Amino acid sequence: MKAYILKNFFNMKEKILVTGGTGYIGSHTTVELMNAGYDVVIIDNLSNSNEKVIDGIEKITGKRPVFVKGDCTDLETLKKLFEDNPGIKGIINFAASKAVGESVQKPLLYYRNNLNTLINLLQLMPEYGVEGIVFSSSCTVYGEPDVNPIDETAPIKCATSPYGNTKQISEEIIEDYVASGAPIKSIILRYFNPIGAHPSGCIGELPLGVPQNLVPFLTQAAAGIRPELTVFGDDYNTPDGSCIRDYIDVVDLAKAHVIAMERMLNGQDHDAIEIFNLGTGNGLSVLELINAFQEATGVKVPHKIGPRRAGDIEKIWANPYKANHVLGWKAEADIKDTMRNAWQWQCNCNRK
């Protein structure tokens, strides 16, 4: 009988390392892994998150993941983690700097942090018997698509930021390492725009300082923390003039990581490296998202139209066919539920 059938029959789940696990997507993925019966070890340097997130994870799952405060760019730190936590079978790598604008100001920080983290993890995987790594990539690797919706065969365009370039280089590092004969597998997940928060209200997006992304700024404007949201341009070649994105609920996104890890550990993956676009397949404009929030919550978002933001892509949304039919994952959340969860999380943060 296949090992994975036995494991599932006896509910013997594996131990997974989640790097960047107190971050936005990392924390939501940790919840879904634990709900699926996995043991989780988190390593995070808390440079862009807070250890209190672990309390939120425990409130939701009833269990506390192992937490190691540490920097994945330090090889000895990672070696100690694997020695102290034997039996890790898979890694989900979220640990990375991810602000597009900041990456233009501090390129070396981004290349050092994002690439050294990945290289260290890949180097240690064979030494410690880690079978597979799920890599957190981004639709930013496609640049401005020639056509939408966009599938995994679309050309990779020249990166428009060091952040985007680190994602492209990381994918190439994984491909070259596997091609060299390294005894590991990888699934690369290219996210579109993650938004929302866990329906429990216990975890969500915790931007430090002024939010760069749309939804946290939107909810802070709705809460009166920011005077108003600026819509960066309404003169694009789109129906209402504002940019179009594929907004994916963070819990749907988290579930895709569990399915990807299962696929590798159960030997269901077809190739040593598989790449999937994770999106809903629906494009929404900025103004449509604002309307969806207002209709879902009954709360007005004070906003104005401002100039375009340099580097913004006009429109991009996913063709999720491969994720739906090969990975066996599909985005399910309704955008209004996602907006309500984002608002609930903002209100909970305001009370803290």
Q: What is the DSSP string of 268-336?
A: --SSSEEEEEE--S--EEHHHHHHHHHHHH-----EEEEPPPTT--SB--B--HHIIIII-------HH
Q: Rounded CA gap, 332 and 113, in Å?
A: 33
Amino acid type, 174? I
Amino acid type, 309? R
Nearer to ligand WQD, 245 or 255 (CB): 245
165 binds ligand WQD (CB under 6 A): no
Q: Which of 95, 133, 178, 229 binds ligand WQD (CB under 6 A)?
A: 229
346 binds ligand WQD (CB under 6 A): no
Q: Which of 13, 59, 309, 330 binds ligand WQD (CB under 6 A)?
A: 309
348 binds ligand WQD (CB under 6 A): no
Query: Crossing angle, helix 24-35 and helix 250-265, to 10 degrees?
Result: 60
Q: Which of 8, 35, 213, 291 binds ligand WQD (CB under 6 A)?
A: 213
Active site residue 163: yes
Q: For residue 346, which phi and psi values (nearest 5 degrees)?
A: -60, -45
230 binds ligand WQD (CB under 6 A): yes
Contact window for ligand WQD (CB under 6 A) among 56-64, 86-94, 212-220, 268-276: 212-220
CB of 140 to ligand WQD, least distance (A): 4
Q: Which of 193, 220, 338, 341 binds ligand WQD (CB under 6 A)?
A: 193
231 binds ligand WQD (CB under 6 A): yes
243 binds ligand WQD (CB under 6 A): yes
3-state SS track over 112-157: HHHHHHHHHHHHHHHHCCCCEEEEEEEHHHHCCCCCCCECCCCCCC
CB of 134 to ligand WQD, least distance (A): 15
Q: What angle (nearest 5°) sits at the alpha carbon of residue 189, between those of residues 188 and 192?
A: 150
Contact residues: ligand WQD, CB under 6 A: 98, 100, 138, 140, 191, 193, 212-214, 217, 229-232, 243, 245, 286, 309, 312
Active site residues: 163
